[in-house]
Amino acid sequence: MLDACAELLDEIGYEALSTTRIADRAGVAIGSVYQFFPDKKAIAEALTRRNVELFVTRVGRRFLLEDYLSWWAAIDAIIDEYVDMHRSVPGFRSLHFSDVVELNLIDSSSDSNTVIAGRLRGLLLEEYGMADSEELDLAVLVAVEAGDAVLKLAFRRDADGAPEIVEEAKKLVRGYLRQALEPSRAGQPSRGS
């Protein structure tokens, strides 16, 4: 049912989506849809949750397989994964992490961008020696929100993501984090840019 929802979102959008259309596309009775989901909003939330979990998994896999010498390169890799999923995962481009759905998708106290910011924060702490602080928390959250907004612009301009705007999103996030976090790296050796 989630796959059917993803396909329909890409084809007709959220407003035209209905539980009846999802049931028809999935080849199941409408009662089967209602057995798991009370309405289309609940299905969209479940699909968004799945997309966030897939994004986090793909980023994690990428970091296991590749070695990033600088956190700038790691940030670029995260953005590249987002862009790739936007291009290749059904439903991903139609339901961004904080669009259409409620803010408490992953757990009761966090919206999806906050969860992603938390994962990025963990990466900066563990892999790149950033100092743990409230400033780091705020900077990473702002960077994720800003990057998400600029990447949405890239996909509004071009269905495959306007490359020049994707590059600007990377510059924006790197520049903001560099400015916001350099004091956090006091005493830490530079790992490149």
Domain spans, the chain: 46-185
> What per-residue confidence (pLDDT) applies to 34?
95
46-185 maps to CATH 3.40.50.300: no
Does the pLDDT of residue 188 top 70, yes or no? Answer: no
Does the pLDDT of residue 103 top 50, yes or no? Answer: no
Q: Encode the chain in three state secondary structure.
A: CHHHHHHHHHHHCCCCCCHHHHHHHHCCCHHHHHHHCCCHHHHHHHHHHHHHHHHHHHHHHHHHHCCCCCHHHHHHHHHHHHHHHHHHCCCCCCCCCCCCCCCCCCECCECHHHHHHHHHHHHHHHHHCCCCCHHHHHHHHHHHHHHHHHHHHHHHHCCCCCHHHHHHHHHHHHHHHHHHHHHHHCCCCCCCC
- Rounded to the nearest integer, the mean pLDDT of the chain is 82
> What per-residue confidence (pLDDT) applies to 192?
45
139-162 per-position pLDDT tens digit: 888 998 899 899 989 999 998 999
pLDDT confidence tier of residue 134, bands split at 50, 70 and 90 = confident
> What per-residue confidence (pLDDT) applies to 112?
64
> What per-residue confidence (pLDDT) applies to 183?
55
